[in-house]
Amino acid sequence: MTVRIKVNVAGCVGHARCAAVAPEVYELDENGFNVTAEKEVPEALRAQAVRGMRACPERIISIEQEED
Ligand code: SF4
């Protein structure tokens, strides 16, 4: 199974909390804005992806489970 992540990057304010707790999942640009608009990661990174989602004060990250 994979985990599909969506980030409404237009709403990102660039405080970089997502990548601070989940550096293998979320990518930031040089100003600290999330550039991960849509991404699939393996199940092994689910916990990290969820941590990053919860760390975002703007609530712009969503996570779905995909069947393989
Ligand atoms: S925590 Fe949220 S608002 Fe902050 S950089 Fe990450 S996605 Fe953007």
Class level of CATH domain 2-66: alpha beta
Question: How far, in Å, from the CA of 67 to the mean position of ligand 1?
Answer: 27
pLDDT tens digits for range 7-30: 999 999 999 999 999 999 999 999
Q: What is the pLDDT of residue 66?
A: 72
Pocket test for ligand 1, best of 6, 7, 8, 17 (most atoms within 8 A of CB): 17
37 Cα distance to chain centroid: 8
Q: Residue 11 CA: which ligand 1 atom is closest?
A: 3
Q: How confident is the model at residue 38 (pLDDT cuts 50, 70, 90)?
A: very high
Q: Kindly give the distance from the C-alpha atom of residue 65 to the centroid of ligand 1, in angstroms, as a whole number.
A: 21
pLDDT band at 68 (very low <50, low <70, confident <90, very high): low
Residue with tokens 């990174």: 45
* Burial letters 49-68, b for 16+ CB under 10 A, else e: bbebbebbeeebbebeeeee
